[in-house]
A and B are shown apart, each in its own frame.
Chain A
Amino acid sequence: MSDLVGLFPYWAVIILMMTGLYIVIAQGNLVKKLIGLGIFQVSVFVLYIAIGVVDGATPPILSPGFNSYSNPLPSVLILTAIVVGVATLAVGLALAVRIRESFGTIEEEDLLPLTVPELPPEPEARP
C-alpha cells in the first residue's frame, strides 16, 4: 500500500509511458502518432523531475534554517529535453502538413499504397 502511495509519481510515469508508446504504435493517423510521441516524452520529463525530489527537502535555494535541498540537476536536464521535444513535435507537424498537401491524406493505411518503392518518382506538389 505504501508503495502505491509513496511511489505515485513513478506509477504515473509508467502509465503515461505505456499510453504514449501504445498510441505511437497503434494509431494510423500521423498527427495522433505525434500526440502519442508527445505523451511518451512527457512521461520522461515527469520521471526526471520525480528523481530530483528529496523527501522533506526544500527547493535548492540557500537560506539559513534549511539544510536539506532537492536536487536541481534533473530539472535542469529536462529543460533541455523539453526544448528537444518541442522541436521534434514542430518538425513532425510540419512534415504532416506537407504530407497532407502532397498525398491528400495523413492516414497511414491510405499512404501505404502511395509510397511503395515500385511506384515511379513524383515530385511533391507545392501549392
Chain B
Amino acid sequence: MRLNEGRIGYAEGIAAAAAAVSVCAIFSVDPASAYTNGNSTYISIPLAALISLVPVLAVSRALERSGKGGLAEHLECAYGTAGAALFALPLTVSLLFCAARPMTCFLDVLQSLIYDGVSYASLAAFVFPVMALIAWKGFESIGRLALIVSGLLVFSLVFAVASAAPSFETYRLYPLMGVGAARFTQFTASELMFTLTPMSALLVCGKGLNGIAPMRKTAAAASIVSAAVCFSAQFAISLVYSYKGLTGLLMPLYRINFLSLAQSYALRLDKLFVMVWLSGAIVSSAYCVYAAARLHAGVFRERDITPAAASFSLVVCAAVLAAARMDYTAVKTANGIMLRFGAALPTVTLTAALAKGRKEKKC
C-alpha cells in the first residue's frame, strides 16, 4: 500500500490544519464581496474558523461509531463505492478549489507586483512541481513541513503587523460591523468554504493522526489557532485600510506597512514575507491535494495514491492557469459561484457522513 499516510503527532497536525485554514481564509478573500459596504472580515473569518469545528466534531463521532478510521472508508462502508464516490465528489471539488484559490492570489501578486513582465506559466512552473511533490510524499512530509513553515508564518505575520503598528488608526474600523446583519451572515457562510474544507481534510486523514480522538483534539486546537491568526491578520489590515481602500487591493497584508514613513530596512521586507506566506500556501495546497487524493483512494479502494495525487495536482495547476484568464466568462462565473456558494460542497459530504453515522452500525 502506498497511501503515504505515515503517522504524525499533535504539533504537526495542528500546524498543517491551522496553516491551511489561515492561508485559505486570509488569502482567498474576494475583495469585492468582503469589503463592499463595510468591513467585518476580522469577525466573520475567525467566526467561520470556529464554526467549522462543529461539523467536524460531529462527523468524528460518526466515524467512531462506525469504527472506521477515515471519512473515505466511512462513506464507502455506508453507501458503497458508487454512493461514496457521489458524496465524496463535492468535498473533493472544494478541496481542489481551496488548493487553487490561494495560489491564484499569490500568483497574481507575484506577477503584477513583484516580477515584471513574467508570464503566469513561468511562475506556476516554479510553484506547482513543488506542491505536487509535497502532496505525493504524503501526510508525514506535509505535517513536518507545515510545522517548520508555520513558525515562519507566525513570525512574519507578527513582524508585518508590528511594523505597521504606527499606522494603526481605529477610525478605519468604523462604521463598526457596518455591513449589516444579513451581509455579515452571508459573508460568514461563504467563508465556511475556506475554513470547513481544510478542517474536513483532517477527517479524511484520521489514520495519519493516530486515531479519531487525537484527530478531534487536533481539529479543536487548529480551529482556535487559525481563528486567532485570522483575527490578528484581518484586524491589523482593518486598522490600516478602510473598507473602501480594501476593495481595490490585491493582497492588503503585503502592503500593510506601506503607510509607514520610516526608512528602516525592516520595512522593506514585504517581499520576503510574501515568499514566507507563499511557502505556507504551497504546503496548504499540497495538504488539500493530498486529502483529495486520499479521499479518492479511500472511496475507490486504491492502494496507491500516486495517480490521484498527480492528477489532482495537474487539475489544480490547470485551474490556476485558467483563473489567470479571468476574461473568460465561464471562468469568472465558475469562480463567482464557488466563492458565494462553495461552502455547500463540504456540507453535503459531511451531512452524508453524519446521516449514516447516526445509527450504531459497524461496517
Tell whether A pairs with B.
no
